[in-house]
Amino acid sequence: MATFYEFGFDDKVLDGIEAMGYTNSTPIQEMTIPISLSGRDLIACAQTGTGKTAAYLLPTMHRILQNKNRAGISTLIISPTRELALQIDNAITGFAYFTGISNIAVYGGGSGESFDKEKKALSTGTDIIVATPGRLLAHMNLGYVKFDKLQTLILDEADRMMDMGFFDDIMRIVNMLPKQRQTLMFSATMPQRIRHMAQQILINPESVNIAMSKPAAGIKQLAYCVYDLQKIPLLLEIFKSQEFISVIVFSSTKVNVKNMEKELKRLGLSVAAIHSDLEQKDREEVLRQFRSRKLKILVATDVLSRGIDIENISLVINYDVPGDAEDYVHRVGRTARAESKGEAITFITTLDMKRFNDIEQLIGYEVEKGVLSKAIGDGPIYDKNAKAERRKPSGGKKGGRPNFKGTPRSTNRPHR
């Protein structure tokens, strides 16, 4: 494993690396940094948590410092979410502390003041711009954004951007950038549609693929086969069974997240939700309280499964089985980080059994199935050969909002 001193970085970049407490590179960094430094286009596949951000930031900052006549915007980083854009921007601020490199995050949901600040940076020139596609296009459509000096384009979490429907936006942005540039594409997975996009925007790229890793050894995994109406009672029973420092509950739908937050608050738990309808300042405040341990339970959609670095998560609960097997690894990877221990529990309904079998095939082993208590009642029998079915809205034959009333308040109210 190479140290960062072996890459020939500018001394100011090395000072930032030392200040951030880094010494040895990760495999994705060791394999991609020399390619990035060479100026070649790159497509790299490695899952979240492997060090991709530093893998592209460090060589990019080195190249900026080597340009003695730098002016305008040198590097554009496109990310799928506001949270990831802010995280990348914070990483730049840390690594670039001694370099004099300027940076700004450009994302939606802010105030008019923040829009004006972004406008100034995009029109007068800032070394590194980190932007979400929609907000960047809003600025570009107004005609004052200057990318004529751009040297490097970086697409982070490219597969997530495709999942979120940003393909057309990305292509519109790319078509307005200088043709002579370096393009780096990083993705957690590499489906065919990502390779197709890479063929359109990268020129003779080098390819690096770090195999999808399994859930960390420190994660205790458990799954329960349940009916929809048993989910909330089981959730409360888990919370009562032991003390957890911090918990993330993942649900696949925004509606479930909102309703779950209401029900858990009604039962006296310290909980808040993260979803796309929240204002940016509210999302940042929720994350701040969760990181500082003022908030114990975070209920979220998959916006948090990638790109958000929150340490010491003791429990991850998959209230819904994720639609993609890879997302299971990303979700449970929120716990047991940095060689710590953690627990991941998944609720499997009859509609989810085929999906969960796909997960077990991906990680290479069967996850232990827990036994429901008498208070919860019998659940469905796990059938790994069950056919995949389209998920219907829960909460009754006619659909509608999920039913969170499956447990009497008097008998299942958790300890505060």
- Say how far apart CA 180 and CA 211 lie, in whole Å: 31
Q: Are 399 and 392 in contact (CB under 8 A)?
A: yes
Q: Within 13 Å, how many C-alpha atoms sit on residue 5's CB side? A: 2
- DSSP run (H or E) holding 196: helix 192-201
279 pLDDT band, cuts 50/70/90, is confident
- Say how far apart CA 191 and CA 327 lie, in whole Å: 13
Q: List the domains of the chain with CATH numbers.
A: 4-209 (3.40.50.300), 219-412 (3.40.50.300)
- Say how far apart CA 190 and CA 206 lie, in whole Å: 14
Q: Average pLDDT for residues 104-125, to the nearest whole number?
A: 89
* pLDDT given for residue 237 in this prediction: 93
Mind listing the pLDDT tens digit for each residue in 341-374?
789 999 999 999 999 999 998 888 999 999 999 9
Q: Where are the beta strands (DSSP E) in 173-238?
A: 182-187, 206-209, 219-225
Q: Are 341 and 57 in contact (CB under 8 A)?
A: no
- Find all residues with CB under 8 Å of 194, minimum gap 6, and list them: 158, 159, 162, 185, 187
Maximal CA-CA distance, the chain? 72
Mind listing the pLDDT tens digit for each residue in 140-189?
999 999 999 999 999 999 988 887 889 999 999 999 999 999 999 998 87
Q: Which of 41-50, 233-242, 385-394 has the lowest mean pLDDT?
A: 385-394
| Centroid of chain to Cα 144 | 31
403 pLDDT band, cuts 50/70/90, is very low
At 346, the amino acid letter reads T
* pLDDT given for residue 173 in this prediction: 97
* pLDDT given for residue 389 in this prediction: 52
399 pLDDT band, cuts 50/70/90, is very low
Q: Are 223 and 369 in contact (CB under 8 A)?
A: yes
Q: Are 383 and 389 in contact (CB under 8 A)?
A: no
Write down the residue that tokens 């690096």 correspond to.
208
Token pair in block for residue 15: 């000072």
